[in-house]
A = this chain, B = another copy of it.
Amino acid sequence: MTTALGARKWWGWGFEQDGVDPAAYEGLRASLLHLLGDARPRRIEPVDPASVRIPSPRFGLPPAIAEFASDDRLDRLSHAYGKAYVDVMRAVAGDVPNPPDWVAYPRDEAEVAAVIAFAESESIGLIPYGGGSSVVGGIEPPPCHEADRPGVITLDLRRLDRVLHVDRSSRLAEVEAGIFGPALEASLRPAGLTLRYFPQSFEFSTVGGWIATRGSGHFASGATRIDPLVAGVRLMTPRGILDTSELGLSGAGPSAVGPILGSEGSLGVVTRAWLRVRPEPTHRASTVVQFADEAAAIEAVRALGQSGMEPADCRLLSPLEAALTGVGDGRSAELLLGIESHDRPVDHDLARAIEICAAFAGRTAPAPARGDASDTDAAASRWRRWFVEAPYLRDRLALDELVVETFETATTWHRFAELHAATLRATQRAIVEACGQGFVTWRLNNVYPDGVAPYYTVLALGTAGREIAQWTAIKAAATEAIVANGGTITHHHAVGKTHRPWFERERGEVAVAALRGMKAALDPAGIMNPGTLLA
Contact = CB atoms under 8 A, between A and B. Distances in A.
Interface of A: 167, 169-172, 214, 216, 225, 227, 231, 237, 239-244, 246-256, 258-264, 267, 276, 278, 302, 306-309, 341-344, 348-349, 352, 410-415, 448-451, 453, 486, 488-495, 499, 503, 506-511, 513-522, 533
Q: Top 6 closest A-B pairs, CB basis?
A: A517-B521, A250-B488, A258-B258, A249-B410, A170-B412, A254-B262
Contacts of A508: 242-243
B249 A448 contact: yes
A516 B521 contact: yes
Contact of A499 (B252, B307, B352): B252
A252 B494 contact: yes
A150 to B, nearest CB: 26
Contacts of A170: 412-415, 449-451
A157 B405 CA distance: 49
Given A412-B172, A494-B251, A276 B520 contact: no
A255 B241 CA distance: 21
B342 A491 contact: no
A496 to B, nearest CB: 10
A251 B307 contact: no
Contacts of A451: 170, 249
B308 A343 contact: yes
Contacts of A515: 253-254, 518
A74 B309 CA distance: 50
Given A253-B495, A261-B255, A308-B341, A514 B242 contact: yes
A251 B217 CA distance: 13
Residue from A253, A302, A349 having most chain B Cβ neighbours under 10 A: A253
A252 B352 contact: no
Given A172-B412, A412-B170, A343 B307 contact: yes
Contact of A522 (B241, B306, B341, B517): B517
Nearest to A304: B343
Residue from A242, A261, A276, A492 having most chain B Cβ neighbours under 10 A: A242
Given A247-B412, A255-B261, A309 B522 contact: no
Nearest to A489: B252
A522 B533 contact: no
A518 B250 CA distance: 20
B518 A242 contact: no
Contacts of A349: 344
A239 to B, nearest CB: 6
Contacts of A243: 508
A308 to B, nearest CB: 6
A231 B169 CA distance: 32
A448 B246 CA distance: 13
A519 to B, nearest CB: 7
B521 A514 contact: yes
Contact of A171 (B227, B264, B449, B489): B449
A436 B514 CA distance: 50
A214 B253 CA distance: 8
A258 B257 CA distance: 9
Given A241-B510, A308-B341, A490 B414 contact: no
A249 B254 CA distance: 19
A244 B503 CA distance: 12
Given A352-B344, A449-B276, A254 B260 contact: yes
A513 B308 CA distance: 39
A208 to B, nearest CB: 15
A298 to B, nearest CB: 11
A449 to B, nearest CB: 5
Nearest to A226: B251
23 contacts: A167-B414, A170-B451, A242-B514, A246-B450, A247-B410, A247-B411, A249-B448, A249-B488, A250-B490, A252-B262, A252-B495, A252-B499, A254-B258, A254-B259, A254-B515, A255-B258, A267-B514, A308-B342, A308-B343, A309-B344, A514-B521, A518-B518, A520-B520
